[in-house]
Amino acid sequence: MPNKLQIIYTPNSILRQEAQDVAVDQIKSKKIQSLIVNMKETLKVTPDGVGLAAPQVNESLRIFIVSEEAEEIDRLELKKQAAKGVESEDVDSYEHREWKYYVFINPIVKKTAKRKLSGTEGCLSVPGKFGSLARQEKIIVEAYNEHGKKFTRGATRFFARVLQHELDHLEGILFIDKAEELFNSDKS
Ligand SMILES: [Zn+2]
């Protein structure tokens, strides 16, 4: 049975460590497989989050997961832009379904676009805070998936932002280090 893991909050020092590579022949081990299953469960029951890195659940390993909801957010944004000036109700939201999760193990950045986009970010390990910061508009990442297979994934806009946020977690960097402006969540 998958377990929800406890999320570690700042200023816990594990969030500030450089995470360790996973030995490729260990990806299929019980330890790594159950960590991934439990990370998926944790994100599933944490509706505010679209990504989760292993250091956030107290494992200093180079693993993170991203919900396909991030892609849905990008699709919605494009729809909204296309519908600009047109009154429309159906572009304001998307269906919340059971999301799939993309797993990135030992990710390496292959390429980034020079152009940056500003946007708002939050983090499950920094509750109640949001910040605006610029991230590269596009990124290409190479990583292993949970089956131990190497893959390359390109991402743009919000998905690219989430990847950069999660990659930072593996270096011990939090979005609050980079934010131009920080503000408190008004729901807290
Ligand atoms: Zn985070």
Q: Which of 59, 69, 71, 166 is catalytic?
A: 166
- What is the whole-number distance in angstroms between the Cα of residue 8 and the centre of ligand 1? 10
% of the chain residues with pLDDT over 90: 82
Q: Where are the domains of the chain?
A: 13-87+101-184
Quick: pLDDT tens for 70-128. 999 999 888 888 887 666 555 567 777 889 999 999 999 999 999 999 999 999 999 99
The answer to whether residue 188 scores a pLDDT higher than 50 is no
Of 139, 153, 159, 132, the residue nearest 78 (C-alpha):
159
pLDDT for the residue 187: 53
Helix (H, G, I), strand (E, B) or coil at 122: strand
Q: Cβ(106)–Cβ(22) under 8 Å? A: yes
Which top CATH class is 13-87+101-184?
alpha beta
Q: What is the DSSP string of 136-172?
A: ESEEEEEEE-TTS-EEEEEEEHHHHHHHHHHHHHHTT
- What is the whole-number distance in angstroms between the Cα of residue 168 and the centre of ligand 1? 8
Q: Give alpha helix (H) positions in the chain.
A: 30-44, 69-82, 157-170, 175-178
CA dist., res. 112 & res. 187, Å (int): 34
CA dist., res. 160 & res. 162, Å (int): 5
CA dist., res. 117 & res. 29, Å (int): 39
Q: Report the predicted TM-score, pTM, of the whole model to 2 decimal places.
A: 0.93
Which residues make Cβ contacts (< 8 Å) with residue 77, sequence separation at least 6?
157, 158
Of 140, 145, 129, the residue nearest 163 (C-alpha):
140
- What is the whole-number distance in angstroms between the Cα of residue 66 and the centre of ligand 1? 11
Which residues place a Cβ less than 5 A from the ion ligand 1? 123
Q: Cis peptide leading into 11, omega within 30 of 0? A: yes
The answer to whether 59 is a known catalytic residue is: no
Which residues make Cβ contacts (< 8 Å) with residue 40, sequence separation at least 6?
2, 65, 101
Quick: pLDDT tens for 3-33. 999 999 999 999 999 999 999 999 999 999 9
- What is the whole-number distance in angstroms between the Cα of residue 165 and the centre of ligand 1? 6
